[in-house]
Amino acid sequence: MVMIEAMNLGKVYTVKKKINFFRSEKQKVSAVKGLNLTIGEGEIVGLLGLNGAGKTTTIKMLSTLLNPSSGKITIDGLDAVKDAIKVKRLVNMIAGGERMLYWRLTGTQNLRYFGKLYGLSGGELEERIHDLLEEVGLTEASHTPVELYSKGMKQRLQIARGLINDPKYLFLDEPTLGLDAPVAKQLREMVKRLAKEQGKGILLTSHYLEEVEELCDRVYIIEKGSLILHDTPENITASVVKNYHIKIESSALSTFQQNRIKQGLSGCSIEFSELGDSTEMHIIAPFDPTALIINVCMKESIAIQKLELKRPRLEDAILTLAKGKLA
C-alpha cells in the first residue's frame, strides 16, 4: 500500500545562546524524538500536542522543508531526503494565518505563479486555477488583490494554492486558525471531501479538538517531541477519560431524597446545589449513569426538569493528559 511512513523520526536543532557580547554557546534542542507515523491514501490523520510539542517541525520534515536529524521518511517508497525533488511533486503544505501569499497579486495571479513553479502551464494550468477557485468559492474574487480579501478568503486561497499541484498528500498546519465558525465548517467539509472523494492522505494539526474529532481517522498525540498516544479519537478518549458528567435539574429535594439518590448511585460522586425551588445534581461516574439515575428518580417520585449528559470528548482526554504532564 502506498503511503507516508516516518520511522524513528528525530530532529535536533542547534541554537545559539548568547552569554555576553563576545561569546555565545551552542545548545542542542530536541524538537522531535523517535516518532513513528503513517498516513495512508484517503486517510485524515491528526497530530496533536501542546505548543512546542514538535507538530510544525514534523510537518516540515514530511514536506521536505527540514531534514530529519535521525530516522527515515518514505513517501510512496521515495526517500524524503534523497529524493526530495520527486517527493515535492507528491506533497503540499497549508498553514493557517494570512502569510504565504503575495498580497498585491490577485488570487488568480498567485495560483498562476505557484502553478508555474510546479511545472504547469497553458490550458492545463488555467483550467486547474479555474476549478480550484470554484472549489474554494473564490471565483468572483479571482481578480481582486489578496490584500482586499477577508481572513477566510485568504485561507481558502491558501487551500487552493496547496492543491495547485494536485498533491497526493496534504499537510495542514492549523488550517482553521482564527476563522469564523461557518468558514471553518466549510473548510472542514472540503478537507473531508479531499480525503474521502479524492483519496488524498491528509495530516492535520489543530488546536480545535472538536475539529480533529470530527475529521480524523487516527490521531497521534505528541509531547515534547515524543509520541505518547496513537489511536482513533474514540479509543483515545475512552482510554484516557474515565468519567461521565451528568447535570440534572429536578424539583427541590429533601435530605432524605438526596440520601436515597446517593445510595442508589454508589461509586459515583454527587454534588447537590439548591436553586430556589429546584435542586441541581452534578454526578461524576466512571460509567454512563443515565439509566440508573432515571430509575432512582422514578422510584422516589422526583420530577426531572432537565438532564444534561456530557460524554467524554477528545478535548477532555487532551486536558487530562496535559494535567498529568504539567502536574
Taking the complex as a whole, how short is the minimal distance between the CB of residue 233 and other proteins, in angstroms? 29
From edge to edge, which strands make up the β-sheet containing 278-285? Answer: 269-275, 278-285, 244-251, 304-310
User: How many chain residues touch other proteins (CB under 8 A)?
Assistant: 34
Nearest to 3 by CA among 74, 54, 53: 74
- What is the x/- site pattern for other proteins, positions 105-134, by CB under 8 A? x---x--xxx-xxxx-x-------------
User: Which one, 112 or 188, has the nearer CB to other proteins?
Assistant: 112
> Residue 169 in contact with residue 201, Cβ under 8 Å?
yes
Residue 85 CB neighbours (<10 A): 9
- State the Cα torsion 198-201-205-211 to the nearest 10°: 40
Task: Using CB under 8 A, pick the residue from 2, 3, 7, 65 that binds other proteins.
Answer: 65
The owner of cell 526530495 is: 84
Rule CB under 8 A: say whether 82 interacts with other proteins.
no
Residue 79 CB neighbours (<10 A): 13
- What is the x/- site pattern for other proteins, positions 282-311, by CB under 8 A? ------------------------------
User: Which one, 32 or 39, has the nearer CB to other proteins?
Assistant: 32
Task: Using CB under 8 A, pick the residue from 4, 101, 170, 240 that binds other proteins.
Answer: 101
Taking the complex as a whole, how short is the minimal distance between the CB of residue 155 and other proteins, in angstroms? 13
> Residue 257 in contact with residue 302, Cβ under 8 Å?
yes
Kindly list the residues in this chain that would bind other proteins in the complex (CB under 8 A): 13-14, 57, 60, 63-67, 85-86, 88-89, 92-93, 95, 99-105, 109, 112-114, 116-119, 121, 161, 165
